[in-house]
Amino acid sequence: MGWSSAQFIGFLQLPVVHVVSCNGVYASTGGQAIPRGGGPPDAVAAAALGYSRGFTVDSADGLEHALKAAADTPQPCLVYIAENPASAVPPRCPETTARYADGFRHGAPQFGA
């Protein structure tokens, strides 16, 4: 989801828990560092989007706490997961955009088959 979708959620005050998982690199293109690896402070990013709350987490316990707190909030919330930038780069997805589009047009896609 791009920034415009997130801003739309904030503008309409949709009760969405928006989870961003960031390891500080563009993993799908070979691990180049993103312009700002640490991401914005959660409260600043949440306010900029029109969200009511923001959380930054770096552990499973922190994620559990943030998701519980966000679920109790009737407005949109941001949960920013700061991952380990040294983690292995995942393989690129073998699926094509055309196959995704075709799958969604005709019901649940059966990827990897």
Residue 57 β-bridge partners: 81
pTM recorded for the entire structure: 0.65
- Contact assessment for residue 78 and residue 16, using Cβ atoms and an 8 Å cutoff: no
**All domains of the chain in start order, with CATH:** 3-105 (3.40.50.970)
Tokens representing residue 83 in the block: 């991952």
Per-10-residue mean pLDDT, the chain, length 113: 82 91 70 64 84 90 93 90 71 74 69 52
- The per-residue pLDDT for 77 is 93
- The per-residue pLDDT for 31 is 67
d(CA 32, CA 26): 5
